[in-house]
Amino acid sequence: MTQRIPNVVSIAGVDPSGGAGILADVKAMSANGAYACAVVAALTAQSTVGVDAIFAVPRDFVARQIDTLFADVRVDAAKVGMVGQAPVIAAVAERMSHWRPPHLVLDPVMIAKSGHGLLEKAAVGALRESLLPLATMITPNLPEAGVLVEAAPPEDVKGMRRTAERLRRAMAHDGERWVFLKGGHLPGGDAIDVLHDGDRMIELAAPRVDTKNTHGTGCTLSAALAALLPQSPDVPSAARRAKDYLSQAIAAAGRLEVGKGHGPVHHFHAWW
């Protein structure tokens, strides 16, 4: 029997350089065996060097995109990335609460690789209060985790474990809920992430790749997770596959020649 191809949607912003946001999500989802759909929540004037401007899509139109898509397409998983402003967050949370996709991966995008802000400060509370409880998995990096728990970012793996516990307590308590805390900001030879569901605490390690081409790594990982969760026997299996995919995409990034700043990872490293 042929395995059903999952339909997966990215709700995020558009990065014209293709390294992050919806374009990166569609590549990562496609590379991991899913049919990718997208809802545009924000537009950016952005490159590998930085973010020049952000234009928020009106909240009612974001909601209209979601409703039109979900009314027609069976959605097996959704990923929420850059949503930018509190009204858009509210609209996304409201429609996700209505449609309830089986898997909802929340990547709390706050700062671009260049250091430019992608989430208004006033919107952090809205994200924490309305989207966090709906997520079945959240994928913050260490600075984002610090903002979400209103504390300093973790400085070591022990601190990551404590922060993962705090993040898990902030999520809803019904059903299976996971924290995928990314440790790429920590020094060391390995990039160590922590996966936690309130009971199990799993460390995922991969050799760190020395490259400046890391634009969109967070988007790529969360999109890969959304694609793989419906295809995997359990969450840890999907997490390991997603991390392995991203590690190989980073390692192959040097084959691309895109931009003058932080270049993108190679989403299609296994095919090109």
Residues designated as active site: 182, 214, 216-219
Pairwise CA distance, residues 195 & 217, whole Å? 17
Residue matched to tokens 């029997």: 1
**Cβ burial, residue 211 (10 Å; 0-12/13-18/19+):** middle
Distance of CA 61 to the CA centre of its chain: 22
Residue 65: which H helix or E strand, with range?
Answer: helix 59-72
Q: Are 96 and 62 in contact (CB under 8 A)?
A: no
Q: Are 77 and 83 in contact (CB under 8 A)?
A: no
CA distances from 101 to 9, 55, 104, 116, 119 (A): 10, 27, 6, 31, 24
Pairwise CA distance, residues 66 & 91, whole Å? 10
